[in-house]
Structure 1
Amino acid sequence: MSNEKSKSIHEFDFSLIADYFSNLERQGPGSPEITLKAMSFIEGLSEYSRIADLGCGSGGQTMVLAQNTPGHITGIDLFPIFIDQFNQYAKQLHLEDRVIGQVDSMDYLPFQEEELDLIWSEGAIYNIGFERGLNYWLQFLKQGAYIAVSEASWFTSERPEEIDAFWKDAYPGIDTIPNKVAQMQRAGYIPVATFIVPEICWTEHFYAPQVEAQEAFLQKYAGNKTAADFIANQRYEEQLFNKYKDYYGYVFYIGKKL
């Protein structure tokens, strides 16, 4: 294993990462179908509902939400490049009157207590940590409101050393599905539904579009070792998924505030 391949994602410059992922429609594994499947477990939304998509990226999944549910949606992301794309996307779809993106941190949310009817976060809660995020975000939800997050999880209680070491370095908060559900319960939610995000959401919707994006990125940053290392890291991550996908993946966790 080369040093480039074994680098943690945390070692790379965030602006470089944001620039790379801004060229992709999705910043993580998922699909419109999976967003809608998760939505099917959410009840009681109306035109007055307030929804927040935390770690929204450029808003691929947010626009699917907006086109299939009533209410006002606020997308939150730390990177201005994503929020600029998000707001342009909303305008293109004529959703700007009820969908707005703003630069903020999921660690310090700009909402009032019990303001929200739904918190959404696809593949982004790891930035704050699953358990910490569920506990902190709870205060912003109304009684009986919902949370829906997708999160990297182990499918088995044991796995090969190579993939175990990779994920423990990349995201120490990774855990098994039963342990994640227990964390959700302890945080003050009723677990409503849990389902595994299908393999196609990784292969076709996340990794396949990166092939072209990687070549363009390497040309843009020709001679930049950090950029080359980052792409090597992305390719290694894909290799690991193809090799060990029976052991881990993304899981959607949907809960309701007690």
Structure 2
Amino acid sequence: MIDLFVGLDRLAPGSAEALRWALGVAGTPATGVVLDAGCGTGADLATLLAAVPRGRVVAIDRVERFVARAGARYPRVETHVADMAEPPGGPFDLIWSGGAIASLGVGAALEAWRGHLAPGGRIAFSDLCWRTDTPPDAAQAFWPEERVERLTAPALEARVREAGYEILGSRWLGTPGWASYYGPLEVELDLSEVEAEAVARLRNEIALWRTHGVNSDIGLWSARRPAHDVTLALPRATSMQHMSSLECIMTAATVSLLRTGLPGLTGPCCAGYAVLALARGRP
């Protein structure tokens, strides 16, 4: 299955326009350090690089061949084969995950990323959601078989808030973002020598979208960690110069408490999408 996807530029529904919206809502600084969690072959890296011209972009995925291709396409990006729950290279001003958060689950991912965010850090992600409370039987039957949990947007937003984040904005991806993924994938399926069963599953998935796509979509969310959150990542060597005096004092105090061990402180939406998301997640 990896052979089928490694030649694609986009491994899940999405678009540069939608990502720019998410970055704008998150208020990503030009000097920021950004993580692409589940980067695939690098679909979003050009947009992320443009958003932080004086910053740094780190990209991780569990699939070595995806990471190698992403690094070859964008040499300026720091790439790693790594677990999304334990990303190297932080702390981050923004963690972005385009279509890969399903590998951990929204609640688990947001909890894991808390300690990797810089003070005031933001997260942005996309995930597959129902747009109706009564989805058709065919769609309901397809996704559980592919090990993809599908929520309504209100249910997903409840999980974001339960994880302690404040939602800054949300929107739907829309048809063009799906076509940008399924179009090239269909071409690849026509040429692929992947086993017939896998090809059939993917064709069924595309047919399902064309028939019942109005009942679901990719949602995008931007959110921030509350200012009072004491789960702080250790500061970057250069981060203090970008902080206010009060933030420096608070960070230094919290790091001191962490080092003394004070109790209570802690340091793609389809068959193919599902396979890739699970491959990028924890074993």
* Correspondence for 2:144: 168
Unaligned runs of 5+ in 2: 227-283
Letter in 1 for 2:183: A
1:60–1:228 CA distance, 2 compared to 1 (3 A): same
Return the offset for 1:116. 1.1
Among 43, 58, 62, the alignment partner of 2:45 is: 62
**Contact 1:130-1:173 at 8 Å conserved across structures:** no
* Correspondence for 1:249: 217
* Correspondence for 2:5: 21
* Deviation by residue 1:179-219 (Cα, 9 ceiling, x = unmatched): 1111111101110011011111112x01111122112222x
Letter in 2 for 1:254: S
* Correspondence for 1:126: 102
Cα distance in 1 for partners of 2:78, 2:104 equals 22
Bigger CA radius of gyration:
2
My pick for the range that moved more, 139-148 or 193-202, is 139-148
Please show how residues 1-258 of structure 1 align to structure 2 within 5 Å: 17-47=1-31, 49-70=32-53, 71-91=55-75, 96=76, 99-111=77-89, 115-203=91-179, 205-218=180-193, 221=194, 227-258=195-226
The ranges of structure 1 where at least 4 consecutive aligned residues each deviate by more than 3 angstroms after the TM superposition are none
Structural RMSD (CA): 1.5
SS of 1:46's partner is coil
SS of 1:250's partner is strand
Unaligned runs of 5+ in 1: 1-16, 222-226
TM-score (norm 1): 0.83
**Contact 1:155-1:247 at 8 Å conserved across structures:** yes
Cα distance in 1 for partners of 2:64, 2:9 equals 16
Cα distance in 2 for partners of 1:25, 1:198 equals 19
1:209–1:149 CA distance, 2 compared to 1 (3 A): same
**Contact 1:126-1:171 at 8 Å conserved across structures:** no
Letter in 1 for 2:4: Y
Cα distance in 1 for partners of 2:111, 2:17 equals 28
Cα distance in 2 for partners of 1:29, 1:201 equals 5
**Contact 1:32-1:64 at 8 Å conserved across structures:** yes
TM-score (norm 2): 0.76
Say how many residue pairs are matched. Answer: 225
Return the offset for 1:255. 0.5
1:142–1:151 CA distance, 2 compared to 1 (3 A): same
